[in-house]
Amino acid sequence: MSGHASVEPGLSRGLYTTIPPDEPVETSRLRRCKQRLVARGSALIMPVVKKAAAPYLGGETAEAALCAARRLGGEGFAVTLGYWDTGYDTAEAVAEVQADAIRRLAAQSLDGTLSLKPPALYFAPELAARLAAAAAEAGLRLHCDSHGVEAADPSNAMLEAMIARLGAARLGTTLPGRWRRSLKDADWAVAQGLNVRVVKGQWPDPADPGRDMAEGFLAVIERLAGRARHVAVATHDAKLAMAAIERLQAAGTACELELLFGMPAKALLRWAAAKGVGRRVYVPFGAGFVPNAVRVLRRNPRLVLAVAQDRLAAAAEFLASPFRS
């Protein structure tokens, strides 16, 4: 296979990472050494990450996630379930888990949606159409998470294949503020009649790596205000969320606040309730959540301290509670 890049599934949540062709022997040795060190390091921190990630994870199965969702529903929250595969599952296997989640979620008395990861389905239009048909039969809404910039176009194509089966009003897309192309994608989403979730974004834009995420976030909000069907403001940055929601409300655009399960945001949630804004919680489930958290923590060591501080603050609040038995 000289002259061609080999492709290795996984490692990027169902996308692909390419290994350069004809890699020099020394470089190859260094890579293998680094991989061994990383593997050992991951094995060492995995128990810690599993414990730290537990409050943010709905469980490894859809039924476990629904337990958390039912509790949230009882507290007045809408929910989104998102399946996190390992990156090594087949597209058919991922689709079957998601089809099962559709059936289970539809059986609940919840304001619930299911979030899909297009790369995990290999962007297959036939699988996407099958899930869309199942959601239509169940009366459920579907949403697509965002991934790397290279996944945006095939994700949009997959959404187009789903519109015919489910209808744009029950479909949503995610736009990262840190991507330059998100403004154009916002126009596309409005033209299609899709719901939109706006996020800061996990993956940078190679065309504009220094783009300010908060400024980009508000630029996308401005593009959608007064035009989009419905916008989910998905950030734990309170100042940014408030500015975005106020802009959308001023334009008469239906909107809601969407937060990640387990993350502290009491003041922001109280503010949203006072403003009459819907509150939705994204509940991740599946075996892929913790390995992904390990990769994120490896790239961002400061997050380890942030997670520890968050857990300590929660413990202190519990100990100080007058209702503790």
pLDDT bracket for residue 302 (50, 70, 90): low
User: In the chain, where are the structural domains located?
Assistant: 62-290
Asked whether the beta carbons of 81 and 99 are under 8 A apart, the reply is: no
Contacts of 158-162 with C-beta under 8 Å, sequence gap 24+, read: 158/118, 158/121, 158/123, 158/124, 158/125, 158/128, 159/128, 159/192, 159/194, 160/192, 161/125, 161/128, 161/129, 161/132, 162/128, 162/129, 162/131, 162/132
- First CA to last CA distance, the chain: 66
Over 70: is that where the pLDDT of 48 sits?
no
Q: CB count, 10 Å around CB of 125?
A: 16
100: amino acid identity, one letter = D
The arithmetic mean of pLDDT across residues 122-146, rounded, is: 97
Instruction: Give 149-171 pLDDT, tens digit per residue.
Output: 999 999 999 999 999 999 999 99
| 8 Å CB contact between 148 and 12 | yes
Mean pLDDT score, 280-306: 67
CATH of the structural domain 62-290, one choice from 3.20.20.220, 3.30.2000.10, 1.10.357.10, 3.40.50.11030: 3.20.20.220
Question: Which of 7-11, 144-148, 236-240 is the least confident region?
Answer: 7-11
pTM, 2 dp: 0.77
Nearest-angstrom CA–CA distance, 258 and 13? 22
User: How much is the pLDDT for 118?
Assistant: 97
Q: Note whether 128 and 156 are within 8 A (CB).
A: no
Q: What is the pLDDT, as a whole number, of residue 86? A: 87
pLDDT at residue 323 in the model: 31
151 neighbors 118 (Cβ within 8 angstroms): yes
Using a pLDDT cut of 70, give the percent of the chain over it: 71
Higher pLDDT, 301 or 194: 194
Render pLDDT for 223-264 as a digit per residue (tens, 0 to 9): 999 999 999 999 999 999 999 999 999 999 999 999 999 888
How confident is the model over 65-116, as pLDDT tens digits? 999 999 999 999 999 999 999 888 999 999 999 999 999 999 999 999 999 9
Q: What is the pLDDT of residue 321?
A: 33
Quick one: pLDDT at residue 264? 81
Q: What is the pLDDT of residue 318?
A: 36
